[in-house]
Amino acid sequence: MTRSFSPLRPALLLAPCLLIGCASVADHRPTIAIGAVQGHAERSALAGQAVTVRGVVSALGNGGWYVQDAGDGDGATSDAIFVQYAAASVAPGDMVIVHGNVAELDAGRATRTALVQPRIERVGRGDVAPLALTTAPSDWERLEGMRVRLDGPVFLADTGELARHGRVQASLDARLWQPTERQIPGSEGYRNEVADNARRTLSLEAPNGAWPDGLAQARTGSRITGASGVIDQVEHGVALRVDGALSLEAVARPQAPTVPGTLRLAALNLENLFNGDGHGGGFPTMRGARTPAELAAQLAKHVAIIEGLDADVVALMELENDGYGEESSIAALVDALNADGSRWRFVDAKQGPGDNPIRVGLIYRADRVRTLGPPKTLEGGPFGEHSRVPMAQAFAPLKGDAKRQSFVVVANHFKSKGCKDADGLDRDQRDGASCYNATRTESARRLDAWLATDPTGHGARTLVVGDFNAYAQEEPMRTLREAGWQDAFVVAGVAAPYSYVYDGQLGRLDHALLSPDFAKRLRGAAEWHVNADEPESAGYRAGGTGPWRSSDHDPVVLGFDL
């Protein structure tokens, strides 16, 4: 087998022997190529046997060190191996002869081929030139323990484990996508996407903490250059033990999007807006802000986002379900928005909707649009205990014929993918949709059936929007599209939309679906990537300022001409 990513092996430069008998250890056993020890499979065929190898120490760590030889001419075998011997006095660049027993050491998802109970002889100095990778290899196993240099595109995918574990997640060649954003769960395409994501995912570990300035504050999607080091099998997958200086090309924060049209509708997940007792006390709450200062910072971020979207109506998710009085969370948000003299109002459903700790809500600019009749809600079935109760409200511009220009906004928040108490078909079916897919799908069916009855009396132009907790190709979203609801981002011709980043992978949990009549009036759609790509350090709990990381979801905004 040949390596599609590079036709050449790295050079191994060996210094002359410094000790007598450097061709073998004291018992004069002959050396063999490390590639012959590694073999072509994930586990060595020589496991349990004693062998002698010769090479240059490339890196230290994991209770031992790595040694690499000049290669056996076979691109399908690794030319390096781990030596389990922490007490050995060796350093990178030492040429050694090692006699030991071949073993497969547990390394989480895979094993690390190693020499254990070794006898070691230092015989000089040498150097291992890294193998240049211009793209992700088809199989990391054939590079196990080898020194490489990443010359192709490397994107920062996740920094969540940087402070605690000294590692970041990177993706090679391009950013990663949630498999079920583009592929039907459980399908062959899904399985191929999962495999490709695994192939292109690499953990970068810098044992000495030599990270570039600003890495902890960088947005996902930033570029990393200059990465070189040894490939290792670790508990969480494949890692590069970085041995050189890294550089960071931080991606810029995007400006608030603009969309054409005379009417703008938006949606925003607030990530648990709870306001204590409404008088500055009652903290910490069960979710969200833990102190009055954190609440003030959280509200400031939400205000900055909503003002930046410049929408006429905004659907909200993850509001505290605490009524509509002056002490409620929705009232606190509207008060904060009106601090500059704006005329925001909230839709008052009188109670709930539902009895879940969080609910959906709707706010609107009273100087631009007006409500038509009371809001309508759908309770029962999956709505309440699991999916949050949806709310529909009809609106019309302040001026003009309300009947001809009316429209409806339906706020939604389906059951999450968390598996607590899941049973029956709601258990994880191992197809990529995670838990409670059946509940979300039933929620979609009931939502469509309810809207078919036109509960507000103005349903010809309807926007169904919110956090559906389902990626685009999962059954709940397919159910709604098959019922005739049109994906606003497809209608608008937006390429590669995403609103959420989980485990370094992009996707949409937040969707905007249009009735056919409303789809004809759509003029533009955009997501403001103000949240999902931002590190948690930009959030209100960590003292971050500006609109950044007000939530873990990006808001969406749509433009229409009525």
| Torsion sign (Cα): 491, 495, 501, 504 | positive
Label residue 186 exposed, middle or buried (CB < 10 Å: 0-12, 13-18, 19+). Answer: middle
- Report the SS3 class of residue 413: strand
- Cα(67)–Cα(118) distance, rounded to whole angstroms? 13
Q: What is the pLDDT of residue 385?
A: 86
**pLDDT tens track, the chain, 562 positions:** 333 333 334 444 443 333 323 344 545 579 999 999 999 998 999 999 999 999 999 999 889 999 999 999 999 999 999 999 977 789 999 999 999 999 999 988 889 999 999 999 999 999 999 999 999 999 999 999 999 999 999 999 999 999 888 899 999 999 999 999 999 999 999 999 999 999 999 999 987 677 999 999 999 999 999 999 999 988 888 999 999 889 999 999 999 999 999 999 999 999 999 999 999 999 999 999 999 999 999 999 999 999 999 999 999 999 999 999 999 999 999 999 999 999 999 999 999 999 999 999 999 999 999 999 999 999 999 998 899 999 999 999 998 888 899 999 999 999 999 999 999 999 999 999 999 999 999 999 999 999 999 999 999 999 999 999 999 999 999 999 999 999 999 999 999 999 999 999 999 999 999 999 999 999 999 999 999 999 999 999 999 999 999 999 999 999 999 9
The model's pLDDT over 61-104, given as tens digits with 9 standing for 90+, comes to 889 999 999 999 999 999 999 999 977 789 999 999 999 999 99
- Cα(51)–Cα(115) distance, rounded to whole angstroms? 8
The model's pLDDT over 492-508, given as tens digits with 9 standing for 90+, comes to 999 999 999 999 999 99
Print the SS3 string covering 76-103.
CCCCEEEECCCCCCCCCCEEEEEEEEEE
CB-based contacts of 329: which residues, under 8 Å, 6+ apart?
273, 274, 275, 319, 320, 322
Q: What is the pLDDT of residue 187?
A: 98
Beta strands in 366-483 (DSSP E): 369-377, 388-397, 407-413, 462-467
In 3D space, the residue among 84, 235, 122, 240 whose CA is nearest the CA of residue 171 turns out to be 240
Q: What is the pLDDT of residue 189?
A: 98
Residue 534: φ, ψ to 5°: -85, 145
CB distance 80 to 87 below 8 Å: no
One-letter amino acid at 441 equals: T
Q: What is the pLDDT of residue 28?
A: 55
- Cα(43)–Cα(293) distance, rounded to whole angstroms? 55
Beta strands in 286-404 (DSSP E): 313-320, 344-346, 358-365, 369-377, 388-397
Q: What is the pLDDT of residue 32?
A: 96
CB-based contacts of 18: which residues, under 8 Å, 6+ apart?
122, 123, 124, 125
- Report the SS3 class of residue 233: strand
pTM above 0.85, yes or no: yes
CB distance 281 to 295 below 8 Å: no
Print the SS3 string covering 95-126.
EEEEEEEEEEEEECCEEEEEEEEEEEEEEEEE
CB distance 38 to 81 below 8 Å: yes
Q: Which domains does the chain have, with CATH numbers?
A: 12-128 (2.40.50.140), 153-249 (no CATH), 263-560 (3.60.10.10)
The length of the chain in residues reads 562
Structure tokens at 287: 């979710």
